[in-house]
Amino acid sequence: MWIKICANTNAEDAVAAAELGADAVGFVFAPSARQVTVEQVRAISERMPKGIERVGVFPALSVEEIALASEQAGLTAIQLHGGLDMEFSRRLQARLGPDVSVIQALHWTLGEDDASIARLTAQLRDCPAGGRVLLDSKTKDASGGTGKVFPWAMARKLLSEHAELKVIAAGGLRPENVADAIRTIKPWGVDVASGVELEPGKKDLRKLEAFIKNAREA
């Protein structure tokens, strides 16, 4: 089970996540209470142990803007939240080169299950085999970072038709529910931010440890 601890704002939290067994740490470059700068992430990257993925979460910027930020911050992966645009993803991957991967975020709009299923059915068909796809919750007011879960059983039925994709479950995960999410959705990985925080931008080490432990055991 691949585990990503997202929305880190300081080196202490990111290093703790790695030491507790996370596979990746994430940094939000989009406007947010947890937004970080290239300079902040570069300083954190220099302190991270070898082998830990460093994922930058980006809104709809240009290929060159994202690539430049990736190079300066020392990222190993880019997570796109600006909507599905496979041509953009291909151009970005070509610009980044083989050492930096692209994760595409897709969204389940809460309260709009039928529309979400129809939209995701089409989007998942367009995603390349073997690619990493993060499924997050979305509301009318927030695209990601909602702290709310989407209908796991409904999502599992949809995702079961796309075993060729590496699906990462996000949205409202916490130490108390991550095992149930894994058993229900059967994802390739999980992603958490607010579910392991003391406050926006500051992790709770007890929650962090419990989340990673429960995800591994599930």
| Paired tokens of 10 | 């300081």
Of 6, 13, 127, 191, which is the active-site residue? Answer: 6
Spatial distance between the Cα atoms of 10 and 106, rounded to a whole number of angstroms: 27
pTM over 0.85: yes
CA distances from 110 to 116, 132, 165, 178, 186 (A): 8, 22, 23, 19, 20
Spatial separation of the C-alpha atoms in residues 211 and 5, rounded to whole Å = 10
Q: Which of 23, 126, 127, 136 is catalytic?
A: 136
Task: List Cβ neighbours of 92 (8 Å cut-off, separation of 6 or more).
Answer: 63, 66, 67, 78, 80, 102
Would the CA dihedral through 101, 56, 41, 59 be positive or negative? positive
Given a cut of 70, is residue 216 above it in pLDDT?
A: yes
| Spatial separation of the C-alpha atoms in residues 127 and 105, rounded to whole Å | 11
CATH number at residue 192: 3.20.20.70
Per-residue pLDDT tens over the stretch 47-90: 999 999 999 999 889 999 999 999 999 999 999 987 899 999 99
Check pLDDT > 70 for residue 158. yes
173-186 per-position pLDDT tens digit: 999 999 999 999 99
102-131: per-residue pLDDT in tens? 999 999 999 999 999 999 999 999 999 999
Residue matched to tokens 């302190």: 47
R_g of the chain computed on alpha carbons: 16
- Domain assignment of residue 27, given as a range: 2-217
Told to judge if 136 belongs to the known catalytic residues of this protein, a careful annotator would answer yes
Mean pLDDT (whole number) for 141-159: 82
C-alpha 192/C-alpha 6 separation (Å) is 6
The number of domains in the chain is 1
